[in-house]
């Protein structure tokens, strides 16, 4: 998630200070206990059954941006918003009436982001210019977690997973010549989304990449840093939403000292790439993350031409411990170290680049370029 803007406003001297701020502010955003569903008190509540055939999403606007970019405004009751946008990078020869379809790369934004982030902060237009691929960059919300929200057990909107995979995807395949060969990549909160979608829908995506992904929402820091639930709380704070609406409460060891009090931890696990790692088997995976040390920068830049230099494999130094300069990437480091170990335990291969670095676009663009051949190869593009 892109929480750096929030942290700049409230940059803590110590991680414990951030926890104190959250403890003071988050109750102000919570609904009264009397208004909660009975499910909120704990005990698994089954997710609602949704029919992929039901697709209330409709296009309400199309905005061409040059010859090779199109913004589509979509209205759907699943989003809790009048319109959400999807930005498309169009391949050569594309038209809505074309007799063929194109393979699709989904790029997911981070917390606080939107559909414009990838084109505003990277050279993805140049990367895709000579590739026979349709790039899809959807807008969700700054704290969507790419999930169907729990809403204290009432479910309903926003339902971001349903919206993207059961509404936007078939809409693009029906009306915008998107094919069924798909890959997905995302940064931070979008890295969570890319891997959780791949695990939840085996076979839907041919490859998945996560850059600084929040891949273990139940990550617990043991040395005073941010834990996974802190990220959910901060993200919801930025959205002016109650964080408990997303997945409920994680239970022990967070916010309770009772080991038997697990609350809605089952749902946190349902949305965790770490917990669902076994379902990633068979999909080519790319994981990149930093250690929270930002001295020296990424050591790579696009340069002045249309073709970037290949990032050096020497960047993947595999730091044995995290740094302390970037509190978000410090937590991301711990999450990804755990996922990496889990994949190895399960015998699931993945391309991994752990390096020095922070939670910012120069590192994410570098890793987009590094993972591009894998993503395009999976799509045959």
CB-based contact 74:63 (threshold 8 Å): no
Q: What is the pTM of this model?
A: 0.89
**What is the average pLDDT value for the chain, to the nearest integer?**
89
Predicted pLDDT at 70: 98
Instruction: State pLDDT tens for residues 265-310.
Output: 999 999 999 999 999 999 999 999 999 999 999 999 999 888 999 9
Predicted pLDDT at 43: 47
Instruction: State pLDDT tens for residues 187-206.
Output: 999 999 999 999 999 999 99
Predicted pLDDT at 55: 80
Instruction: State pLDDT tens for residues 36-77.
Output: 333 334 445 567 665 555 789 999 999 999 999 999 999 999
Tell me: pLDDT of 10 over 70: no
State the Cα–Cα distance between residues 202 and 198, nearest whole angstrom. Answer: 6
State the Cα–Cα distance between residues 101 and 94, nearest whole angstrom. Answer: 9
Q: Could you give the residue ranges of the DSSP H alpha helices within 271-360?
A: 327-346
Phi and psi torsions of 205, nearest 5°:
-120, 135
Domain boundary assignment for the chain: 59-214+279-379
Query: Among positive and negative, which fits the CA dihedral 170, 175, 176, 180?
Result: positive
**59-214+279-379 fold:** Rossmann fold (3.40.50)
């Amino acid at each position: 998630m892109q929480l750096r803007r929030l942290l700049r406003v409230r940059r803590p001297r110590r991680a414990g200070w951030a926890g104190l701020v959250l403890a003071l502010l988050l109750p102000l955003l919570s609904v009264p206990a009397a208004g909660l569903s009975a499910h909120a008190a704990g005990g698994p509540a089954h997710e609602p059954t949704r029919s992929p055939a039901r697709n209330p999403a409709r296009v309400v606007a199309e905005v061409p941006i040059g010859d090779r970019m199109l913004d589509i405004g979509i209205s759907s009751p699943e989003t809790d918003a009048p319109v959400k946008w999807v930005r498309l990078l169009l391949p050569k020869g594309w038209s809505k009436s074309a007799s063929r379809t194109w393979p699709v790369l989904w790029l997911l934004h981070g917390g606080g982001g939107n559909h414009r982030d990838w084109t505003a902060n990277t050279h993805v237009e140049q990367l895709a210019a000579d590739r026979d691929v349709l790039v899809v960059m959807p807008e969700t919300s700054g704290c969507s977690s790419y999930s169907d929200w729990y809403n204290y057990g009432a479910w309903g909107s926003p339902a971001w997973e349903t919206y993207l995979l059961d509404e936007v995807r078939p809409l693009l395949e029906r009306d915008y010549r998107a094919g069924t060969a798909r890959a997905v990549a995302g940064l931070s909160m979008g890295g969570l989304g890319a891997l959780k979608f791949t695990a939840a829908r085996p076979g839907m995506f041919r490859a998945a990449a996560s850059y600084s992904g929040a891949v273990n929402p139940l990550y617990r820091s043991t040395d005073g840093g941010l834990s996974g639930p802190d990220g959910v709380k901060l993200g919801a704070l930025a959205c002016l939403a109650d964080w408990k609406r997303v997945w409920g409460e994680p239970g022990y060891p967070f916010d309770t000292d009772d080991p038997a009090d697990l609350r809605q931890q089952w749902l946190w696990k349902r949305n965790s790439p770490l917990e669902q790692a076994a379902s990633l088997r068979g999909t080519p995976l790319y994981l990149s993350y930093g250690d929270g040390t930002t001295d020296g920068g990424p050591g790579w830049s696009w340069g002045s031409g249309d073709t970037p230099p290949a990032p050096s494999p020497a960047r993947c130094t595999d730091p044995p411990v995290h740094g302390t300069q970037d509190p978000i990437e410090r937590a991301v480091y711990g999450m990804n170290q755990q996922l990496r170990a889990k994949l190895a335990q399960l015998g699931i291969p993945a391309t991994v680049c752990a390096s020095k670095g922070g939670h910012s676009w120069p590192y994410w663009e570098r890793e987009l370029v590094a993972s591009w051949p894998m993503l395009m190869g999976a799509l045959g593009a």
